[in-house]
Structure formats: structure tokens, C-alpha cells
Amino acid sequence: QVQLVESGGGLVQPGGSLRLSCAASRSIFTINVMAWYRQAPGKERELVASITRSGSTNYLDSVKGRFSIFRERAEGTMYLQMDTLKPEDTAVYYCYAQMGGVTTWGQGTQVTVSS
């Protein structure tokens, strides 16, 4: 079944940018829904952005205009482009996929926004 491998996290300054990558073991265009979640210490995991097989996207209100979720067919990879990062964006970010009634999570990648 599908396996997700995340990368791209790191330490950035406020106002900076990061691009997170999620590589799938199957074509991401056969997956019904892919998404990015995040979880900060002591807080609930929250949905940041999602994209459907047809390309429809949705975003958490607090990241609208700053984050973009998109896919690359040739590379089999889904991305989260994060711009104008804020300290409150600090969290572990997780890739998520739903295919054939089965959900899969990536291992998570740490994003820290700090001076």
C-alpha cells in the first residue's frame, strides 16, 4: 500500500519560507485526498491544507494567502509551500493520504520558526 516519506522541515526566521515534500510510493494522482496536518506541543493536531484527486484545495484560515498545497506528477510528490512564516506556525507537520478507504500518515517533519 501507499507509503509517505516527508522532508523539507527545518529552522527558519519569521517571514521566511520553506517547502515541505511528501513522496508517495504510488502515483499521487490515484489517491483520493492528500493533506498536510500539523501538531504543536500540547495542542491538537490540525488540518492545514488538503488537495483532492481532482485538484480542489482547502486551507486552514490562518494560513490562507501564505501556504500553498500542490502536486507534481513526474516526481510523484505533493508539496506544501509555506511563505511568510510566523512563530505560531512552529509544529511537526505530517503528510496524510486517503486511498481505497485506507488512511496513511507520514513520519512528520519539524518546522521551527524563530529568530
Quick: pLDDT tens for 43-65: 999 999 999 988 899 999 999 99
Task: Please write the tens of the pLDDT for every residue from 78-106.
Answer: 999 999 999 999 999 999 999 878 899 99
| Residues pairing with 102 in the sheet | 99
Cell numbers that stand for 74 in this block:
513526474
What's residue 74's pLDDT?
57
Q: What is the mean pLDDT of residues 26-40?
A: 87
* pLDDT in the model for residue 72: 83
pLDDT for res 53: 86
Contact partners, residue 40, CB within 8 Å, separation at least 6:
90, 91, 92
Rounded to 5, what percent of the chain is helix, strand, coil? 10, 55, 40
